[in-house]
A and B are shown apart, each in its own frame.
Chain A
Amino acid sequence: MIRNLAVRLGSLFGREQQERELDAELRYHIDMLTEQHVQRGMPRELARREAMRLFGPIETVKDDVRDTWLSRFLEVAAQDVRYGLRSLRRSPGLSLVVILTMALGIGANTAIFSVVNGVLLRPLPYKGGERLVELHQGAGDPTDPANDLGFSVKDIADYRLSRSFSDVVEFHSMLFTLLGRAEPLRVSTGVVSANYFDVLGVQALHGRTFVEADDRPGAPAVLVLTYDSWVRQFDEDPLIVGKVFRLNDRPHTVVGVLPPVPLYNPQGSAAVDVFMPTSACPFRSRQSFVDSRSARMMSVVARVRPEATLLKSAADLDITAARLTKDYPKDYPQRDFRAVGLPLKDEMIDSFKPTLWTLLGTAGFVLLIVCASIANLLLARMARREQELSVRAALGATRARLLRQLLTESLLLAFAGGLIGLGLSALAMRLLVAFAGRFTPRAGEITIDLTVLAFTFGLSVLTGLVFGSIPAFSQRISAAPALRDGRRTSPAGQRLRRVLIVAQIGASFMLLIAAGLTLRSLMQVQNLDPGFRTEQLLTFSADMAFDRFPLTLKAADRRAKQSEYWRALEERLRALPGVATVGAAGTFPLNEAPPFNGRIVREARPLPPGVQPPAISVRIATPGYFTTLGQPLLAGRVFRAADSAAGPEVAIVNRTAARMYWPGENPVGTRIDSGNDTLITIVGVVADVRQQLDRAPGAEVYLPLFQSPLLQSTWILKTDLPARELEQSIRAAAHAHDADLPVSSFRMLEDVRSTTLTPRRVVVALIGMFGLLALVITAAGIAGVVAFSVNQRTQEFGIRMALGAQRGGLLSLVLREGLLLVVTGLGLGAAAAGILTRFVGQVLVTANPQANGPLLVGIPPTDMVTYIGVGATLILVALAACALPARRAATVDPMVALRAQ
């Protein structure tokens, strides 16, 4: 293997010719031997055979000869390394700058690549993870959340029959209240069919996962905890398996704890805390729910059979969907009803992909600039080393030998830089995992593994060769200059340095444009008026247990009791000292909870059959909600106490909904069809608010909480008390109201507002950091080139001074030179940016720092302010970088300068 490697390495240095020569040399010997025998009278044929015999096995001889080459090669390599280290030690400052620059470039790339590797490249840590797909059904494009209908129990049974899938898993998530600890605990619960963990191939860390019997109707209720919940909520209790907790009027026994694996929740942002089989879910196990084909709230994951392709499974899904619409037209009224399957892996990482590629691309750009900059530094050093190299050439070192020496030195630098870069990225690992955790459940898989090590190693070799070969090959190494004046550098080298600088400036320009655009966009988003107040608002969640009012009650009675329950809580909260106003809703703005979509139809304006009304976000609120949040009322009135279960049904729409459904009309007083034979009167119009800072408001309809009571509620209190203090009294009030009511997620809305922008801020900070890095490296490069050229022209400046040139003149001469480089770079950069903004802009627009907002909001990719600002900054920085060498040029003492050469 080593020989193989040597042969390959050897071919870099004329190995092929060496082989040809060896052949010829040995052939000559055999020919002469043959000739000798012929002269002694042997027939030629026989003589040749005899010569071959005498010579012996030719391949063995060749191998032995090659061995001498190999041992020599290794010896020389060791020599090169020793010599290289010595030579690098001779210029420690330069070596240090190169290694650090390199470390930053490699470190940035390694860090981002480790994320790409852990999240995008590695297969899912599930058994045959690449064959797992999530199914969607609905009209048009069912993968669009607005169209995704979900699955009913009967739907799932039908898809289980389709031939392409070996396993079909059912999943839905709900919030339940877990009792039996000091405080009631809200647990996000994954309700799954018993085969869930077997299909994923996940085995329990403690205890067991589900078995078929757990999922039978009437089976004893069991729970499996996620690793995260076991650590966070159950303090890693080693005796947890076998403990019994109450959920939904039933005792549940913990049977197992999962290992730390990524778990995807297709139904919301809340990570699952516990899993239960479908038999234990009070909703899912009701007979009426099981029997209804259109009671759809489940998600489905399926395993594609090994013999079926994804394409075939898609065809199979089409067939099933077509059969369903044909057999049950009432349950599938949509005109273009379809079913599709998307790879589970994509679903788990999709929102992160564009952001990640953007970051990797930016890091790659930085590495290019790093390479150009280091090549430039080494070029400058080459000029100084020309003397040394010429002397060595004169002493008989071949050109190949010297090139090899130079490349060895570059590779040494690259390896040192790569090693430190690896260390830097290892330090950043925790931050990266936390950052990625906001986008994907796969964040935990980010580590420095063999692939990352190989990437870093490969990148170091590649960059070492790139920045090393530019100066090495640019030099015409010969013995000649040693005999002449060794200080002159070739004009070709100087030209190359300028080209490299111009390229660097162009690349930095583009990078800084990207940084500038995203930064301006971030500021835009940060200063955005969301349409509501965030100061002095404390929010928390309160979730009523499912069994608080039994499902056996008549629906209307149950609703009335639930409304009364929330109203009583509201009264207790309003009575708390320090609380000015109180409002409650299903969710509050900026909360990342997925929107609940509904559809509204105006009274007496039916849609044509098969046409779906557009989706509208349905929100539930109390009368105090709008005042507490400061969401202005535009027309009509807000909700009031009389809008209760007993009163007529009412609704409020936001401005966008009013414009969309009542163009040019006043919606107040009109009625909408709720879909179940009741008409709802619109009583008011409120202003738009941004539910997500980086998203334009959509159409919304608000229903009164005391008319459509939810089990999950979010409360917003206006207060001037510190949150901690109020939290205690809220807990006390809530538990006095109902000892089994879990209250959680206490947060000030201001903090929510700030953290909702964290991913965006981190992405912008990363791009900005890369841009700054590029700027600093480039500035140093400009200063270096100009200083070098000043140095070269000391004599010329001296003569100019002697001939009466003014200092200011020389100063501007040098500055002009620097400026010329910058302007050329900017010109090229802008030209490239003209093409690239389309691309960069596109990337930035598609990059989702939060799965729901592009990176570029409110700023066009061609934003002139950014272009001019960045261009001006670059010019200023470049002038500053030129100033130092320019001052030196202007203060040249003519006498000294003339004597110097």
Chain B
Amino acid sequence: MAPKSDLLQGTLDLLILRTLSEGTMHGWGISQRIQQLSRDVLQVNQGSLYPALHRLEQQGLIEAEWGNSENNRQAKFYQLTRDGRKQLAEETKSWERLSTAVARVLAGL
């Protein structure tokens, strides 16, 4: 197993929003998807995943609904709200600006 990477503050929220932009997902699914997309570099710490999910829900960026999972069990499914979508767009933009800037500095251009 790859070592856990500590995520930059605020990054987890962005990753969650991004993951949910693909569709409705439960907590487990989100953690799996992030791990998969990052090719196992990013492993979401459940200790911060669930508080983050609930925080985003309280902020109205995502909303939750109970439904049946693929293995036919009751699970809590999250999806983006309109506010969440807007937030994702903004944060993605600012993240890109930041990472480009960091990349430029590192490249010494």
Interface set of A (CB-CB < 8 Å, partner B): 21-22, 24-26, 28-29, 31-33, 54-57, 60-61, 64-65, 67-69, 71-72
The answer on a CB contact under 8 Å between B47 and A60 is yes
Interface size on B (CB < 8 Å)?
Answer: 19
Q: Give me 24 A-to-B residue pairs in the complex whose CB atoms sit less than 8 angstroms apart, sorted by A's number.
A: A21-B66, A24-B74, A25-B76, A28-B73, A28-B75, A28-B76, A29-B27, A29-B28, A29-B31, A29-B50, A32-B28, A56-B45, A56-B46, A56-B47, A61-B47, A61-B50, A64-B47, A64-B48, A65-B50, A65-B51, A68-B51, A69-B58, A71-B58, A72-B55
- Whether, in the assembled complex, B26 has its beta carbon less than 8 Å from a beta carbon of chain A, the answer is yes
Q: Which of B27, B55, B75 contacts A68 (CB 8 A)?
A: B55
| Chain B residues positioned under 8 Å from A60 (CB to CB) | 47
The answer on a CB contact under 8 Å between A25 and B27 is yes
Q: Please, how many angstroms separate the alpha-carbon atoms of A67 and B55 in the complex?
A: 9
Q: Which residue of B lies closest to A31 (CB)?
A: B73
Q: A28-B69, A28-B73 are in contact. Are A69 and B47 (CB under 8 A)?
A: no
Q: A28-B26, A28-B28, A32-B28 are in contact. Are A21 and B47 (CB under 8 A)?
A: no
Q: Which residue of B lies closest to A60 (CB)?
A: B47
Q: Which of A33, A64, A71 contacts B50 (CB 8 A)?
A: A64
| Chain B residues positioned under 8 Å from A71 (CB to CB) | 58
Q: Which residue of B lies closest to A36 (CB)?
A: B32
New A-B contacts (10) at CB < 8 Å, excluding given A28-B26, A29-B28: A24-B76, A25-B50, A25-B76, A26-B50, A29-B27, A32-B28, A33-B28, A56-B45, A61-B50, A67-B51
- Whether, in the assembled complex, B97 has its beta carbon less than 8 Å from a beta carbon of chain A, the answer is no
The answer on a CB contact under 8 Å between A29 and B58 is no
| Chain B residues positioned under 8 Å from A32 (CB to CB) | 28
Q: A28-B73, A28-B75 are in contact. Are A65 and B54 (CB under 8 A)?
A: yes
Q: Please, how many angstroms separate the alpha-carbon atoms of A556 and B75 in the complex?
A: 109
| Chain A residues positioned under 8 Å from B69 (CB to CB) | 28
| Chain A residues positioned under 8 Å from B45 (CB to CB) | 56
Q: A25-B75, A28-B69, A69-B58 are in contact. Are A64 and B51 (CB under 8 A)?
A: yes
CB distance from A67 to the nearest CB of B (A): 7
CB distance from B6 to the nearest CB of A (A): 14
Top 6 A-B pairs ranked by shortest CB distance? A72-B58, A64-B51, A32-B28, A68-B55, A68-B54, A25-B76
Q: Please, how many angstroms separate the alpha-carbon atoms of A69 and B57 in the complex?
A: 10
The answer on a CB contact under 8 Å between B54 and A61 is no
| Chain B residues positioned under 8 Å from A55 (CB to CB) | 46
Q: Please, how many angstroms separate the alpha-carbon atoms of A84 and B45 in the complex?
A: 40
Q: A61-B51, A69-B54, A72-B58 are in contact. Are A21 and B46 (CB under 8 A)?
A: no
| Chain A residues positioned under 8 Å from B58 (CB to CB) | 68-69, 71-72
| Chain B residues positioned under 8 Å from A22 (CB to CB) | 50
Q: Please, how many angstroms separate the alpha-carbon atoms of A31 and B26 in the complex?
A: 13
| Chain B residues positioned under 8 Å from A61 (CB to CB) | 46-47, 50-51
Q: Which residue of A lies closest to B48 (CB)?
A: A64
| Chain A residues positioned under 8 Å from B48 (CB to CB) | 64
CB distance from A71 to the nearest CB of B (A): 8
CB distance from B13 to the nearest CB of A (A): 12
Q: Which residue of A lies closest to B30 (CB)?
A: A29
Q: Please, how many angstroms separate the alpha-carbon atoms of A72 and B27 in the complex?
A: 21
Q: Please, how many angstroms separate the alpha-carbon atoms of A71 and B59 in the complex?
A: 11
| Chain B residues positioned under 8 Å from A33 (CB to CB) | 28
Q: Please, how many angstroms separate the alpha-carbon atoms of A64 and B52 in the complex?
A: 9
